[in-house]
């Protein structure tokens, strides 16, 4: 698999080499909670071609719609969709059979996930693959084939550093560039401020609207499941939240008559599978704020 060299002149190469020496190799230990996506080693776009994807998905299967999980971590969501939850997802999505791709910034997690795919190839029900890169830098350069769905689940909140968050206006513009009409975006987080910001960034883009069919199928989070007080199990909830200044404020005058329209949250994951974080939140009765948008 091609790998990013992370170089950016002499300084970049030196920084990349230092990062390589510090790289974690034990995927079973707790990984660093948040990785700075602005670090120099993550600024070189990963460029992939048709030949790469033909090898990854066995050529003749490239025409299948591709579901991409951005920030897939250890790949639990993609692994579930490729195995135990495959048929349930296909049923939920009216017969759609996805190729599956996990995108993760930690190369060591990518290697381990691809090793899992290889070890379980004979029993997997869907084709799955993982790549290592910074999605904010590489999304359009990856040349992914037949993208139909993008999932951004529980990204690092970066409470006081909004420029490091995944879902930005520029990122959503990139999503619009690679998704066809009818393409899907699914976002979720248990950090409500982050979920609201992702909702606003995507919904304020002229190319996306709420996926009403998904809201009708899955249902919406009832108000009683959306309490004012949420037990603070996650340290991210204890930090002061700094709003991304590039996101329109709901109270600004130019919002017009829509400014009082409440955000609408899905009652469940629309793909009938769950991440490791979903499971943790369920065990702690922590609400997860989910939204689905569609490319127009």
- The answer for residues whose C-beta is within 8 angstroms of residue 2's C-beta and 6 or more apart is 46, 48, 52
Coil, strand or helix: which one is 247?
Answer: coil
Q: State the Cα–Cα distance between residues 243 and 201, nearest whole angstrom.
A: 12
Residue that is written with structure tokens 């400014």 in the block: 259
71 with 139: CB under 8 angstroms? no
Structure tokens at 19: 């990062």
* DSSP assigned state of 273: -
Catalytic entry in 4, 69, 156, 278: 156
Strand ranges inside the chain, DSSP E? 66-70, 99-104, 128-132, 147-153, 184-189, 208-210, 289-295
156 belongs to the catalytic site: yes
Coil, strand or helix: which one is 70?
Answer: strand
**Residues known to be catalytic:** 156
């Amino acid at each position: 698999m091609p790998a990013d060299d992370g170089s950016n002149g002499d300084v970049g190469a030196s920084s990349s080499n230092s990062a390589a020496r510090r790289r974690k190799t034990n995927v079973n230990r707790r990984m660093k909670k948040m990785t700075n996506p602005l670090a120099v080693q993550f600024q070189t776009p990963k460029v992939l071609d048709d030949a790469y994807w033909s090898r990854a998905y066995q050529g003749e299967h490239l025409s299948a719609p591709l579901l991409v999980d951005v920030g897939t971590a250890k790949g639990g969501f993609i692994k579930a969709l490729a195995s135990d939850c495959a048929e349930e997802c296909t049923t939920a999505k009216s017969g759609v059979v996805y190729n599956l791709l996990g995108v993760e910034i930690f190369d060591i997690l990518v290697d381990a996930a691809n090793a899992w795919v290889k070890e379980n190839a004979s029993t997997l029900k869907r084709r799955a693959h993982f790549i290592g890169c910074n999605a904010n830098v590489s999304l359009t350069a990856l040349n992914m084939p037949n993208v139909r769905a993008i999932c951004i689940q529980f990204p690092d909140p970066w409470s006081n550093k909004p420029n490091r968050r995944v879902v930005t206006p520029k990122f959503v513009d990139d999503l619009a560039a690679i998704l066809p009409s009818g393409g899907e975006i699914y976002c979720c987080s248990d950090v409500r401020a982050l979920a609201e910001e992702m909702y606003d960034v995507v919904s304020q883009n002229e190319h996306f609207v709420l996926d009403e069919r998904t809201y009708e199928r899955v249902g919406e989070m009832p108000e009683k499941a959306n309490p004012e007080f949420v037990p603070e199990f996650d340290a991210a909830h204890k930090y002061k939240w700094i709003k991304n200044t590039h996101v329109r404020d709901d109270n600004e005058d130019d919002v017009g008559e829509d400014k009082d329209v409440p955000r609408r949250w899905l009652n469940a994951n629309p793909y009938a599978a769950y991440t490791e974080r979903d499971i943790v939140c369920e065990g702690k009765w922590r609400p997860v704020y989910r939204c689905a948008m569609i490319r127009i």
